[in-house]
Amino acid sequence: MHRCSNASPVAPSRCTPLRRRSRGAGGCLFATAPDDLSDPVVWRPELTAVTVILEATPDGFATAAPVDPRALGALLTDLAGIDGRHVIVADTAGEHRLWLRDPQPGQPLAAVIPLDKDFLTRLASLLRFHRRLFGRTTGPLPRGWPLTAYRLARLDLMLRALDLRHGGATYRQIAVELGREDATKLSASDWKMSASRSFVVRLVRDGIAMMNGDYRKLLRIR
**Do 202 and 96 share a structural domain?**
no
Q: What burial letters (b/e) apply to 140-179, b meaning 16+ CB within 10 Å?
A: ebbeebeeeeeeeeebebbbbbbbbbbeebebbbbbbebe
**Do 125 and 173 share a structural domain?**
no
> What are 15-72's pLDDT values in tens digits?
333 333 333 334 444 454 555 545 677 878 888 889 999 999 988 888 888 899 899 9
Q: Which domain holds residue 129?
A: 1-146
> For residue 109, which phi and psi values (nearest 5 degrees)?
-120, 155
Please give the tally of structural domains in the chain: 2
Query: Does the pLDDT value for residue 82 go beyond 50?
Result: yes
Per-residue pLDDT at 81: 81
**Do 164 and 67 share a structural domain?**
no
Per-residue pLDDT at 113: 94
Q: Are 47 and 216 in contact (CB under 8 A)?
A: yes
Per-residue pLDDT at 172: 93
Q: Are 40 and 51 in contact (CB under 8 A)?
A: no
Using the 3D structure, point to which of 86, 117, 146 is the last residue of a domain.
Answer: 146
> What are 106-158's pLDDT values in tens digits?
889 999 999 988 899 899 999 999 999 988 999 888 776 767 778 888 889 99
**Do 72 and 8 share a structural domain?**
yes
